[in-house]
Structure 1
């Protein structure tokens, strides 16, 4: 097996999780490169169905390195709940390692609040957001005001960025949407607790992947959603907030394009779409 990127070629739900799980048996490193917990990959282990929203599907295989790359936006609560759920079911192999990019951006409570407020106040047709704060988190990343994993692990840096963001976001929530403000102290206490648990997983993941490639190891890059939901190449504005096409495997993990040997696009025999947006082959009869 070479270094392979697996993406969806429709609107998601093509069955990528099953294919990634199959390929993961022969891969050494499995890396998520974009998206957040707005999509899930369903796999079956020991006859039990398991749904993963953030953690790469290879986590359930022995002797693997699993990466959550810098292109992913991470909700700490969801990440830790997934880990707890897998541990409680004894599904985590002891020799498989999970690393979280210190450059990955963090989803904050005000991201979720803004996501829901915008959708409820939207004039005209709604975008169909999941309300999990993915879009606002990517907005902060592009605006260069986002909070990254490395910031969360530095208490002083986190506090400074949190103060600035809460002030701005509360202005939008209160003045723009007539919503209740978020509480800086509550967020600070909650996320400091997350930081203690996330610290062992944080790393410069691009260096880890590069090192493994130079050792001749095989890397599987795991995409989320589908190409028709790509923020640039999809059915805009009814798209997700990240690039879902294969090219983003490089920028979302910090690996050069020469390292990619193959791209596998997953499609299904009949097309479905969740949420809003055009769907030209839709059957509207009962």
Structure 2
């Protein structure tokens, strides 16, 4: 395998609660690579298909990326790192719709979600009523819990089984693990509608087909594949205030590291000269989709009553997008705290990108007023 003696690296990190414009910046960096005629790969390294990263291109196409990287329209290849949770059902839906002409690689260490993880997640959120956590309903946390609490097989092991073994494995999750997990969650009653969905064998049949589609359209390999690329983009999900190590409101955070930890670990393993730009993304105001602590929250009309968010629409699990003022001192502190980890990486530089300025007349909507 050819290795490059020099790698240009861009790391895209949400600076707050997510929804800042990480898809926009990832697409921008990948287009820079395209203009330089450099082969580019985008690394998805935290969370899973619950991400919703929007990219709009000049020909009028607009897409919210969930499982494929936001560099796909710019012909960037994709790597699912070992800390990324794959979801064959979401992947098959998105990939078959876009039919990208790019290579997609997957770490053999990736955990994988089943429809039953998603169902447990959604039933649990429904049972919490007004005390719901604000989950996206994609089963990310439930996938992690299942890996911790039961015997699992890797995706590669699963896809190597025959259809009878695959069916038996999934039925064991449905018939043995799900009832145990409902007991742990103190869920004593499930609606007839959910019972009917859970027991529908076509769920398993369709999911096996999705897994086979995933296997046919991805290449299993470790992170050494990154050595083949002179241009690498790390596309983070969510934001620093939702990281599992944020120390705030833990049940309302995401079960992954949203900042420096994963990219730094992977960058350290690369050979050759490394030039790294870490780009922290923020809107000109704050948003949060879901429940939990939200300092400096305010009514939307205090920022701009006429703005419309086409991506973060109201839904049953996260509710309506919340708005807040952006405290610049707090923003810079959490950015600097996170960037400290990149000092272990040679030639690392920091940048900050501010999006949605068109909605605030080119200024920051801060707690004490607008700042230019």
TM range (shorter): 0.7 to 0.9
Whether 1:269 and 2:281 are equivalent positions in the alignment is: no
CA 1:241/1:61 → structure 2, altered by over 3 Å: closer, same or farther?
same
Count residues in correspondence: 272
Q: 1:169 is matched with which residue: 161, 172, 178?
A: 178
Identify the residue that residue 191 of structure 1 maps to in structure 2: 207
Distance between the aligned counterparts of 1:246 and 1:256, measured in 2?
10
Contact 1:102-1:202 within 8 A present in 2 as well: no
After superposition, residues 223-242 of structure 1 pair within 5 angstroms as: 223-233=236-246, 235=248, 236-242=250-256
Q: 2:20 is matched with which residue: 11, 14, 17?
A: 14
Shift in Å at residue 143 of structure 1?
4.1
Shift in Å at residue 250 of structure 1?
5.1
Contact 1:6-1:246 within 8 A present in 2 as well: no
More strand by share: 2
Whether 1:69 and 2:69 are equivalent positions in the alignment is: no
Bigger Cα displacement from structure 2, 7-16 vs 77-86: 77-86
Distance between the aligned counterparts of 1:169 and 1:279, measured in 2?
33
**Secondary structure of the corresponding residue to residue 30 of structure 1:** strand
Output one character per residue of 1:172-205: Cα deviation in whole Å (capped at 9) or x when no partner: 3478432238349545422321232122313114
TM-score, normalising length: structure 2: 0.66
Distance between the aligned counterparts of 1:83 and 1:176, measured in 2?
35
CA 1:23/1:168 → structure 2, altered by over 3 Å: closer, same or farther?
same
**Secondary structure of the corresponding residue to residue 105 of structure 2:** strand
Shift in Å at residue 108 of structure 1?
1.0
Contact 2:127-2:187 within 8 A present in 1 as well: no
C-alpha RMSD of the superposition: 2.7
Shift in Å at residue 50 of structure 1?
1.3
TM-score, normalising length: structure 1: 0.84
After superposition, residues 1-286 of structure 1 pair within 5 angstroms as: 2-27=8-33, 28-45=40-57, 46-62=59-75, 64-87=76-99, 92=100, 94=101, 96-122=102-128, 125-143=131-149, 145-155=151-161, 158=166, 161-166=169-174, 167-173=176-182, 176-179=187-190, 180=195, 182-183=198-199, 186-200=202-216, 201-209=218-226, 211-212=227-228, 217-233=230-246, 235=248, 236-249=250-263, 255-257=266-268, 259=270, 261-284=276-299
Higher relative contact order (CA 8 A, sep 6+): 1
CA 1:186/1:147 → structure 2, altered by over 3 Å: closer, same or farther?
farther
Contact 1:117-1:177 within 8 A present in 2 as well: no
**Secondary structure of the corresponding residue to residue 11 of structure 2:** strand
Shift in Å at residue 103 of structure 1?
2.3
Bigger Cα displacement from structure 2, 180-189 vs 33-42: 180-189
Distance between the aligned counterparts of 1:136 and 1:266, measured in 2?
28
CA 1:43/1:284 → structure 2, altered by over 3 Å: closer, same or farther?
closer
CA 1:148/1:258 → structure 2, altered by over 3 Å: closer, same or farther?
closer
**Secondary structure of the corresponding residue to residue 67 of structure 1:** strand
Which structure has the bigger radius of gyration?
2
Contact 2:115-2:207 within 8 A present in 1 as well: no
Distance between the aligned counterparts of 2:239 and 2:253, measured in 1?
10
Contact 1:106-1:147 within 8 A present in 2 as well: no
Contact 2:89-2:210 within 8 A present in 1 as well: yes
- Runs ≥4 residues deviating over 6 A: none
